[in-house]
Amino acid sequence: MDWQGQKVAEQLMQLMLVIFAVVAFIAGYVLGSFQTMMLVYTAGVVLTSLITVPNWPFFNRNPMKWLDPNEAEKHPKPQPANSGPKKKTSSKN
């Protein structure tokens, strides 16, 4: 799953969970059954998991292009920059 696919999966998961929560609440309220509400919401969570957790092909539409190993050898690793001289610590005796 690429970065864009992760973003889409997370947004889809959030949207689906909110929709199923609202539908479950309304169904439970209309029918007067807490058990029905929980069953509808549980079914929504399972369906959401089946859609968003596996690495489906539509989540991998923008794959990253990795640097070829031969090309990577030509470019040295970046070194951390020094922000200036370090402060001297004074030891009090």
The domains of the chain are located at 1-53
Report which secondary-structure segment, H or E, holds 39. Answer: helix 34-52
Token pair of 79 as six digits = 């070194």
- pLDDT averages per 10-residue partition of the chain, 93 residues: 85 96 96 95 96 83 75 74 66 60
CB-CB contact of 69 with 57 (8 Å): no
Q: How confident is the model over 45-67, as pLDDT tens digits?
A: 999 999 988 887 887 787 777 76
Residue 33: partners with Cβ closer than 8 Å, 6 or more residues away: none
Cα 50–61–69 angle (5° rounding)? 115
pTM: 0.65
